Structure 1
Amino acid sequence: MKVGLKLPSVTFHTRVRDEAVGGSNPFRWEDKTTEDYFAGKRVILFSLPGAFTPTCSTFQLPGFENGYDAFKDLGIDEIYCMAVNDSFVMNKWAEAQELKNVKVIPDGSGEFTRRMGMLVRKDNLGFGLRSWRYAAIVKDGVIEAWFEEPGLSDNHPEDPYGVSSPETVKEYLVEAAKAAAA
């Protein structure tokens, strides 16, 4: 169980839009740390096997995107989607998904995912190293609640989905809010 653990401190190599760069690809490199993303905030972090994959693109990411306002009302400051993909891929996926609310975090080297104990082999799908699907509520860099799909293993023949769904995370937040109010 990861509840109560502090997130690993890593640096993510991101690409951010900067019109000052000019040209047809106005992006520049910007390193961001775990602390940049998580310090002083209560966030949802969900991680998935890869950008542009079916379950991730059809259910999980759109569910968090469309539920953003409800999550904000339940005390969430930000929602982050992470995958073991580089910043170029994550930015293109965010654009293709027309994201307005969820922010993507590229874990291109898989270092954060490895240090979370969630890096798995998906060679059976031709993916290589990827993240096992999970979600977490993180408060000031510490895991408050953990939602991990069952069966964590290399080359799993399926892609379980449900425990880390937006609906499950929202249900937890609703119950936590009721308990805090009681």
Structure 2
Amino acid sequence: MKAGVKLPDVTFHTRVRDEAVGGPNPFRWEDKTTADYFAGKRVILFSLPGAFTPTCSTYQLPGFEKGFEEFQAQGIDVIYCMSVNDSFVMNKWAEAQGLQNVQVIPNGSGEFTRKMGMLVAKDNLGFGARSWRYAAIINDGVIEAWFEEPGLADNHPEDPYGVSSPENVQKYLQDAKAEVAA
């Protein structure tokens, strides 16, 4: 659907660990751009409705984390997890999940998600504006492959999961590699 589309230019407001700050919360603000995250790299970006939510915390994020080496073997440099949550929430979620491989991108304002056409209302769950669940393989800032859950809509009564799963993205990469080899 979105293959060949260049990612929107956005500035993400992040918090990065800096021991020079001291105290119990040694983080400082650091703005990063779309180019900082995606330029010159082949990455997987997956976006989900919310940090600490059941499907995201039990299946999607852990699956990408555990499969990192397999994804690297398929030519992936970095895996990013994005959510319409602020940097404080995303950093705490990454810590709670014990992430070593997947990096989180906070999209607290939802600007990137909106420009991707994936911002939906989740008022029916008390969330407000959030991302529809999707994954993408991105090569140097351009979408190579797109994996969007069916039913994109405001206040969808369900949270579909499968198309954007790590297993499905890995299958796509394996099939593409086999096709090239044939």
- Please state if 1:60 is matched with 2:60: yes
Q: Secondary structure at the match of 2:124?
A: helix
Instruction: Find the aligned partners of 1:34 and 1:19 in 2 and give their Cα distance.
Output: 26
Instruction: Name the TM-score, length of structure 1 as normaliser.
Output: 0.99
Instruction: Find the aligned partners of 1:91 and 1:18 in 2 and give their Cα distance.
Output: 13
1:15 maps to what in 2? 15
How many residues align structurally? Answer: 182
Q: Which amino acid aligns with 2:142?
A: V
1:135 maps to what in 2? 135
The 4+ residue runs of structure 1 with deviation greater than 4 A are none
1:29 maps to what in 2? 29
CA drift at 1:179: 1.4
Q: CA RMSD in A?
A: 0.4
- Please state if 1:108 is matched with 2:108: yes
CA drift at 1:113: 0.1
Listed one character per residue, the Cα deviations across residues 10-32 of structure 1 (whole Å, up to 9, x for unaligned) are: 00000000001111110000000
1:168 maps to what in 2? 168
Could you list the runs of 5+ residues in structure 2 that have no partner in the other structure?
A: none
1:73 maps to what in 2? 73
Q: Which amino acid aligns with 2:72?
A: K
Q: Which amino acid aligns with 1:155?
A: N
Identity of paired residues, percent? Answer: 81
CA drift at 1:126: 0.1
Could you list the runs of 5+ residues in structure 1 that have no partner in the other structure?
A: none
Instruction: Find the aligned partners of 1:173 and 1:131 in 2 and give their Cα distance.
Output: 24
Aligned positions of 1:134-153 closer than 5 A: 134-153=134-153
Instruction: Name the TM-score, length of structure 2 as normaliser.
Output: 0.99
1:98 maps to what in 2? 98
